[in-house]
Chains A and B, each alone.
Chain A
Amino acid sequence: MWSELFLLPFLTGLCLALILPALGCFLRLRDEWLAALAYAHVAAAGALLALVGGMMPALGGMAAAALAGAGKRLFTRRLAGGAAFAVLLLAGWAVAVLLAANQPLAESLGHALFDGQLYFSGGAQLALVAPWAVFSGVALLVLSRHLLLARVYPDYFRARHLRAWPVMLGFDLIAALTLALATMTMGIMGGFALIFVPAWIAFRRARSWRSGLLLAVMIGLAGYVAAFLLALGLDQPFGPVLALLLIAVGLIIA
């Protein structure tokens, strides 16, 4: 398996397995775990639109997700309580499925995005994912204190004459772009499984925020490596194997 054919996909997924569980903890902290599905579907729609328009699907997916992450703030009042993510999810899904159904060019990519295509990742994908994983990890560490304060003491920013929107916008963009990369690397549900399950277990079991982040990342990494080997050995698609493995671990531990 350590030939280049499998090593590059493995390393690409490994980068995402490091960052997605940590991102999932922050999304869960903000009661925004549905955002993972929303950004993933919007990214899929953006990638297919770009493909149909003759552009690079990766750029289209990332641009659409970034627009969704930044733009949702404009409709916060009308779409409170997570409604923004439900609307984005539905819109992204509808556009993606319609494009896949009506554009022969988009059909195969559509299947790949929804089913997961980790084993087809190459050097170009790794060159994009690896630096982003490092950047987003550092950015989450920098934003961490303010994201926690925004949850526990929502008035902190006003009382300290600080602007909260750069922190929130920065986090939304990191979440959207990370999910876009995850969708185009391991599919919508593969990425969602790594966002949702490790954070769910960590929130149930951890004694502190720091240990929760560590636990989530460890679960994500272990689940990813096991799923990669299992899917390869059994010749099964990666995404569903990862999801089932993590769910089983989650039901036992959480």
Chain B
Amino acid sequence: MSDALIRARALVAGWESPATAPLDFVVESGRILGLTGANGVGKTTVLSALAGRARVFSGVLEARPGLRLALQTQDVPPVGGVPLSGRELLALTGATVDGLPPWLAGRIDDRLDRLSGGQRHYLTLWAVLQAPADLVLLDEPTNNLDAAGVGHLASALRRRAESGCGLVLVSHDHDFVDQVCDQVIVLQEAADVV
């Protein structure tokens, strides 16, 4: 397909050793792929392999030449004690302020370490989601978010996809994945696959 951003064939990823069952998928522009499954099946590992952090042990992982990635991990950005405002954070990644939820837009000039955990999480997630990129990789983006945050995120993800960006979303939240994703892959334990 001409608008394929990433194509995986029998992909087995891991860190020190193979940690996932073989996977086949294609991520296209304007589409959202959801990766879900039980804890420990390697959802984050697959996402990390797409970003070049984890190793590909076997199979094929092809990326469109010059593909611009944006990656949100579960690690909390270490901004404690750093005088960095929300507006400055968005400027760093090239993300736009437009579209932020009202409960965050009013605090955009505050220091990140003066925001609540949920506000900080959403802002650092927004900085990645809205950064100029062809493919956005998100790892458990609904963590730390209340219902309003999850609802706003779902709308923002759809709008981002409609703008032509591809997204890969890892989440244990099946309802959320079913709500926003065009395609869902339920990962299985590597040992369960014969």
In Å, the complex CA distance between A118 and B53 comes to 49
Nearest residue, chain A, Cβ from B79: A152
CB-CB under 8 A from B64, the residues of chain A are none
CB-CB under 8 A from A70, the residues of chain B are none
Q: Considering only CB atoms and an 8 Å cut-off, how many residues of chain A contact the other chain?
A: 22
Chain A contact residues: over half helix, strand or loop, or mixed? helix
Q: Does B110 contact A (CB under 8 A)?
A: yes
CB-CB under 8 A from A158, the residues of chain B are 51-53
Q: Are A152 and B89 closer than 8 Å at their CB atoms?
A: yes
Shortest beta-carbon distance from A31 to chain B in Å: 9
Q: Are B92 and A149 closer than 8 Å at their CB atoms?
A: yes
Q: Does A207 contact B (CB under 8 A)?
A: yes
Q: Are B84 and A148 closer than 8 Å at their CB atoms?
A: yes
Q: Are B68 and A160 closer than 8 Å at their CB atoms?
A: yes
CB-CB under 8 A from B71, the residues of chain A are 153, 155, 159
Q: Which of B70, B87, B88 contacts A159 (CB 8 A)?
A: B70
Interface string of A23-52 (1 = CB under 8 A from B): 000000100000000000000000000000
Q: Are A209 and B85 closer than 8 Å at their CB atoms?
A: yes
Interface string of B85-99 (1 = CB under 8 A from A): 101110011000000
CB-CB under 8 A from B93, the residues of chain A are 149, 153, 156
In Å, the complex CA distance between A202 and B128 comes to 27
Q: Does A10 contact B (CB under 8 A)?
A: no
Nearest residue, chain A, Cβ from B66: A161
Nearest residue, chain B, Cβ from A29: B82
Q: Does A206 contact B (CB under 8 A)?
A: yes
Q: Are B73 and A155 closer than 8 Å at their CB atoms?
A: yes
Q: Considering only CB atoms and an 8 Å cut-off, how many residues of chain B contact the other chain?
A: 27
Q: Are B69 and A152 closer than 8 Å at their CB atoms?
A: no
Q: Does A145 contact B (CB under 8 A)?
A: yes
CB-CB under 8 A from B109, the residues of chain A are 207-208
Shortest beta-carbon distance from B137 to chain A in Å: 8
Q: Are A153 and B83 closer than 8 Å at their CB atoms?
A: no
Known: A152-B89, A208-B85, A209-B82; 17 extra A-B contacts, CB below 8 A, are A145-B92, A148-B88, A149-B93, A151-B77, A153-B92, A158-B51, A158-B52, A159-B68, A160-B68, A203-B81, A203-B83, A205-B83, A206-B83, A207-B83, A208-B83, A209-B84, A209-B85
Enumerate chain A interface residues (CB-CB to B < 8 A).
29, 145, 148-149, 151-153, 155-156, 158-160, 202-203, 205-212
Enumerate chain B interface residues (CB-CB to A < 8 A).
51-53, 68-71, 73, 77-79, 81-85, 87-89, 92-93, 109-111, 124, 127-128
Which 5 residue pairs spanning A and B have beta carbons closest together?
Answer: A206-B83, A212-B83, A159-B69, A208-B85, A152-B77
Show 15 A/B contacts (Cβ-Cβ < 8 Å), sorted by A: A148-B92, A149-B92, A151-B78, A152-B84, A152-B124, A153-B92, A153-B93, A155-B73, A158-B51, A158-B53, A207-B85, A208-B109, A209-B82, A209-B83, A209-B84
